[in-house]
Structure 1
Amino acid sequence: MVYFLLVVAGLAILLLLYMLYLAFQVNVKIHALRVEQMKPGAQVHLFFISDIHRRKLNDKLIHSLMGKVDIVIIGGDITEKGVPLHRTERNIEQLKKLGDVFYVFGNNDREVGEQNLIELLEKNDVHLLVNRSMERIIDRTPIRLVGVNDGFSGKVNIYDAFQEVRDEDIVVFITHAPAYFNNAKKVSNPHLLLAGHLHGGQIRFGPFGIYENGAFKVKENSAELVSNGFGTTGVPLRLGAKPECHIITMYGE
């Protein structure tokens, strides 16, 4: 009996160590989306990362992405309670090496103090998308980045967010929680919808988890990406829902 218990305890420790290892993996997933409205040959490369929480972005990841990205999008939860601001600033500085950075609030971000975080983001020239949109012209393509506030601790206003969207814009909608995808599609026709928050359930046993595993789903002239996120919340463990960040190439033919 004692031997059996020791074996079980040993297996449990090994499983926990494996889950800890999985939680700190770096996986860059590559996606492509053909957009009919884009001019032939035009390409726009987006880097999307969400739910960094307590993790640090290392030089190896950043160097592997340099020159491959036009726009960086942070899908919320860049931090959480207990994370020092200097660590968050270091992560922002890393992302700034890749390109222009845009950000939406996540449900944990305000735990470090909303004004503290806003000042840090503005100091580093990060564009806050709080129920508003901004435009960038990349490779002859007008990209309209539309972001909404976090609905857990802020007020979401879909109509304000899409107010300046024009018919000719290629629209990228960003929200921390994918629950707002349907709201966005009621007032506009986004070409790409991005979210995180769910962590893919973080710990899954086969097909079973608290939430669905993250996925990139291409639909008719549009796509939806719900990311598993880069970091973890609660416990620094993962199983069956690997951490991830993303490069999405939007292109015309």
Structure 2
Amino acid sequence: MKLTIASLFMFFFSLACYMLHLAFQVNIKNHSLQIKEMQNGEKLRVFFISDIHRRKIPDTLIKALIGKVDIVIIGGDLTEKGVPLKRTKHNILLLNKLGTVFFVYGNNDREVDVQKFDSILLETGVTILKNDSARIQTGNSIIRLIGIDDGFSGRVKIEEAFQKVKDHDIIIFVSHAPAFFKHAKKIAIPHLLLAGHLHGGQIRLGPFGLYENGEFIEKVNSAELVSNGFGTTGVPLRLGAKSECHIITLHG
């Protein structure tokens, strides 16, 4: 009996250590999307990271990415209640080394002092997209990056976010939660849709999890990416849903 209890203890202890290890892995996923509106040779390399939460971005990740991306998009939940603003600022400054940083709010971001949080974002040169868009040019191609406010706040104004879109713009749509993809597609035809929030269920037993595993789904001249996210929420454990961040290369 004592042997059985000891064996069970060792099994669950080992499993917890393994899940902790998975939660702090650094996995960079590379995706490529050909856009017919872009000319040969034109490209935009997007680094997408979401759901950082309590995690510190390691210097090794930044070193691995320098010179390999053009812009950074943070898909919400950059922070949460209890995370020191100093840590959040440090994470942003690291991401700033990679390129221009854009940010959309997630539900957990509003657990902190929003006024102080916004001040840090603006002070560090981050463009906050709250139902708004930014214009990015690569070669002769105009890319319209659209971001909406956190859907859980009741502040989403999706039609307003698309107001500046012009004919022939290449559209990247960013929402913290993927539930808004369908709303965006009713207004326009985005070439790339980005979201996080679901963590891939975070802890999965085989094919079973609270949510579907993250996935990059390529369609005709477009793609949808739902990321498992970089950090964790609740407990710092993962199983069957690896932490991840992404490089998406749009090209002609």
TM-score normalized by the length of structure 2: 0.99
Structure 1 Cα separation of the partners of residues 139 and 228 of structure 2: 29
Letter matched to residue 226 of structure 1:
V
What is the distance in 1 between the residues matched to 2:148 and 2:20? 32
CA contact (8 A) 1:76 1:107 kept: yes
After TM superposition, give the deviation of residue 157 of structure 1 in Å: 0.8
Q: How does 1:131-150 map to 2 (within 5 A)?
A: 131-150=131-150
What is the aligned-residue identity percentage? 61
One-letter code of the match for 1:11? F
Shift of 1:139: 3.0
> 2:70 maps to what in 1?
70
Change (3 A) 1:154 1:93: farther
CA distance in 2, matches of 1:122, 1:41: 33
In 1, are the aligned partners of 2:193 and 2:223 still within 8 Å (CA)?
Answer: yes
Separation in 2, partners of 1:39, 1:167: 16
1:118-129 mapped onto 2 (5 Å cutoff): 118-129=118-129
In structure 1, how many angstroms separate the alpha carbons of the residues matched to 2:161 and 2:19?
39
Gaps of 5+ in 2: none
For these two proteins, the number of residue pairs brought into alignment is 252
Contact 2:37/2:141, CA 8 A, preserved across alignment: no
Hey, what does 2:184 align to over in structure 1?
A: 184
Cα pair 1:44 1:139 within 8 Å, conserved = no
- Cα deviation for residue 154 of structure 1 reads 4.2
Where has structure 1 moved over 2 Å in runs of 4 or more?
none
Show structure 1 runs of 5+ residues with no match. Answer: none
State the Cα deviation string for residues 67-96 of structure 1 (Å, max 9, x = none): 111110000000000000000000000000
- How far the C-alpha of 1:34 sits from its partner, in A, is 0.5
Correspondence 1:103 to 2:108: no
| Structure 2 counterpart SS, 1:102 | strand
Give the whole-Å Cα distance in 1 for the aligned partners of 2:207 and 2:167.
40
What TM-score, normalized by structure 1, do the two folds share?
Answer: 0.98
Shift of 1:151: 1.0
Q: What SS is found at the alignment partner of 1:228?
A: coil
Matching of residue 220 in structure 1 with residue 214 in structure 2 = no
Inter-partner Cα distance in structure 2 for 1:138 and 1:123: 26
In structure 2, C-alpha distance between the alignment counterparts of 1:153 and 1:5, rounded to whole Å: 47
- 1:145–1:172 CA contact under 8 A, matched in 2: yes
Where 1:203 maps in the other structure, the secondary structure is: coil
3-state SS, counterpart of residue 230 of structure 2: coil
Letter in 2 for 1:182: K
